[in-house]
Amino acid sequence: MWKQCLAGVVALAILLPGPPAAAARPSGIYAGMDQCPLSAPALRDPGNLQVGCVVSVTRGGSFTIGSTTVALTSPITLQFGVYWPASAPVVSFPDGTEANVFSTVPPANGKVLTSSPLQVPIPGLANFLPGVTSVFAQVETAGPITGFVPLAIGEPYPVFNLPIRLHLYNALFGLHCTIGPIALRPVITDPGTVDLAADPNGFDASVVSFTGARLADDGLAVPVASGCGLGGSLDWIINAVFGLPSAAGHNAVVFSPTNTSLAVDSSIDDLTKAMS
């Protein structure tokens, strides 16, 4: 009897489907693009002239507010999908050249920007107890990326517009202390090494990469803090020690080195097959 039961269990195990296999992650020239929103309606619009995926990783640089400069010591990753709509928007530069202006779509996991908190010293205070005598600042997005112009190389034109906020964590300030939104409009001051790679399997997709690039924005305006302490009662402390609000010309951000890959194709179906 037990042999018959065992045979039944084995037969059932064969008939039942196993757990779904994990989707293969894009590799080669598409490495790091596994969160590209290839199924998003905006990317699948047949009127698009170009579609693509972007991944960008910054491994250094700095963020300056007034006289306080914090080194960017942990990777900051941006990832999103892009499309060039049927209206074919372009930007014209002083030398007569033009570059495509792409619209963007958040990645499949919704995390356009990922990074680790930065420890920010409090001006005038010795930092002997992190989180009490210093502030941990998490960079967060405060809106979508717009006006993505990846080929604004050698031009005083922002590669994208991205509103961010600094989420400050400290034992005294609570969990809702923020500075922002801050309009981030970095310019490519050095493209690094630029390369163009065609799809190795014969698809129409290609990948433009920028290795070791430098992006900078010295036109930041930083607003006052909000939500610090009970009912914002400690906002004034953050504003006083960091000199907020701080007008444009007194603040800056530098992203360097930055490695960026942009996969582009005229067909979303072709791009999807190329990355699978």
Q: What is the DSSP string of 38-105?
A: TT-TTTT-TT-SEEEEEEEEE--EEEEETTEEEE--S-EEEEEEEEE-TT--EEE-TTS-EEE-BEEE
Q: Is residue 151 part of a domain?
A: yes
Q: Is residue 147 part of a domain?
A: yes
Q: Is residue 5 part of a domain?
A: no
- Percent of the chain clearing pLDDT 70 (strictly above): 86
Mean of per-residue pLDDT scores for the chain: 88
pLDDT at 24: 67
The answer to whether residue 18 scores a pLDDT higher than 60 is no
Q: Is residue 137 part of a domain?
A: yes
Q: Is residue 10 part of a domain?
A: no
Q: Is residue 160 part of a domain?
A: yes
Q: Is residue 230 part of a domain?
A: yes
Collect all residues with Cβ–Cβ distance below 8 Å to 129 and sequence separation of at least 6.
none
Can you give the residue range of the structural domain that contains 200?
Answer: 27-275
The domain total for the chain is 1
pLDDT tens-digit map of 260-272: 999 999 999 999 9
Q: Is residue 264 part of a domain?
A: yes
pTM for the whole structure = 0.86
For the residues 29-37, what does the mean pLDDT come to? 96
The answer to whether residue 22 scores a pLDDT higher than 60 is no
Structure tokens at 181: 């939104």
